Amino acid sequence: MSTQTNVSTDLFGSARLGNLNLQNRIVMAPMTRSRAIGNVPNSTMADYYAQRAGAGLIVTEGTSPSPNGLGYSRIPGIFNQEQVEGWKLVTNAVHKKGGKIFVQLMHTGRASHVSNLPIGAEVLAPSPVVLSGQIWTDAEGMQPYTQPKEMSAEQIQTAISEYVRASKNAIAAGFDGVELHAANGYLLEQFLNPNSNRRNDSYGGSADNRNRFVIEIAKAVAAAIGSEKTGIRISPYGAFNEMGAFDGVEEQYESLAASLNEIGLVYVHMVDHSSQGAPEVPESVVLKIRKQFKNTLILSGGYDKAKAQSVLDDRKCELIAFGRPFIANPDFVDRLKYDAELSPADPTTFYTPGEKGYSDYPNLN
């Protein structure tokens, strides 16, 4: 295991991640901020991420590997050259300030509205199971989710190749690695969970079959850019986007973690949204994953300084991700270190275009 007993567990001490030296054990969690007009990253986004480069590792907002995965308004992509050029602004700005940055590859799958997609793109999912409720579109305001089409065997292969191309693009754009978003009810988790995956081919039915798509993507991406540059985010017991509980969830994730370990992924990043009202993630599943997966484990969701240091000291994980505190506190790491006051974020500007409530939050100094 990577948990050598002689390694310091100080939240503010340096850490290794694959071949990278991180300046501390604090990860900025991926957060969609919807500032990428035309799905292309821009200089405002470079400013925002550079301001937050005090994190040991930044994981970007969810970024689509495919035109079909751009289900939300103004989320960035990484499937064409213009997007790669835009991301170079971001990675250069972060690296200049001594930070490290992974891009989160998020394909929205059925969590989508067709009017948010470019012309010719489609809302695809493992099965034609539509989400209830509504989604924001810039064109038509709130709309019911689009009925997804069941992915054909060929479309599954295309999606895998899109992840590979996006990962190569990520390296070309200067990213230190990629995080596969297999959490929060997006395409990858739609395959994992039987509530959204009703297939009866080799990608559905048994737990092994439901794990297959994620494992094939992880394998293909690791082969393309290196397993030491490939991480993954998962949310067992997650309920977001109508995932919901199912029988055998722990055994399925235990087996998935064993496969990801075999591929040699650099990290598993676990989501726990119980602090925001989601179901509690039992310690048992964290321990099962910990047992199977020998590289870095990142835990996230509702951490403060004391809780983060305590789980690090107990060697339950190597890195801790913080999300919401980074929004209004670009110098969050320093504020945490010196117990300085944290500014509250304004939720009304979480997903609005422009600098307001985004790159205009000041440092404390």
Ligand X SMILES: Cc1cc2nc3c(=O)[nH]c(=O)nc-3n(C[C@H](O)[C@H](O)[C@H](O)COP(=O)(O)O)c2cc1C
CA distance 120 to 69: 12
CA distance 122 to 68: 5
30 binds ligand X (CB under 6 A): yes
Other Cβ atoms closer than 10 A to 200: 9
32 binds ligand X (CB under 6 A): yes
> C-alpha distances in angstroms, 225 versus 66, 166, 222?
18, 10, 5
Whether 145 is catalytic: no
Q: Which residue is nearest to ligand X (CB)?
A: 323
Contacts of 111 (CB under 8 A, 6+ apart): 71, 72, 131, 135, 145, 185, 186, 241
Site string for ligand X, 150-189 (x = CB under 6 A): -------------------------------x-xx-----
11 binds ligand X (CB under 6 A): no
241 binds ligand X (CB under 6 A): no
192 closest CA partner among 257, 282, 287, 262? 257
Q: Which of 12, 20, 31, 136 binds ligand X (CB under 6 A)?
A: 31
Q: Which of 248, 302, 344, 354 binds ligand X (CB under 6 A)?
A: 302
Q: How far is the CB of 205 from ligand X (least distance, A)?
A: 27
End-to-end CA distance of the chain: 39
The nearer residue to ligand X, 77 or 204, going by C-beta atoms, is 77
Q: Which two structure tokens, joined as six digits, stand for 61?
A: 């907002």
Q: Which two structure tokens, joined as six digits, stand for 223?
A: 């082969």
Q: Which residues pair with 150 in a beta bridge?
A: 125
The DSSP 8-state label assigned to residue 77 in this structure reads B
Considering only residues 317 through 356, tell me which ones interact with ligand X, judged by CB under 6 A: 322-324, 350
Contacts of 287 (CB under 8 A, 6+ apart): none
Considering only residues 69 through 108, tell me which ones interact with ligand X, judged by CB under 6 A: 104, 106
Among 72, 145, 163, 186, the active-site one is 186
Q: How far is the CB of 237 from ligand X (least distance, A)?
A: 14
Q: Which residues pair with 119 in a beta bridge?
A: none
Q: How far is the CB of 321 from ligand X (least distance, A)?
A: 7
Q: Which of 11, 15, 17, 29 binds ligand X (CB under 6 A)?
A: 29
Dmax (CA) for the chain in angstroms is 58
CA distance 308 to 88: 32
Q: How far is the CB of 345 from ligand X (least distance, A)?
A: 8
Query: Interacting stretch for ligand X, rule CB under 6 A, among 47-55, 156-164, 224-232, 267-275?
Result: 267-275
Contact residues toward ligand X (CB under 6 A) are 29-32, 61-62, 104, 106, 181, 183-184, 233, 271, 273, 275, 300-303, 322-324, 350
Q: Which residues are catalytic?
A: 186
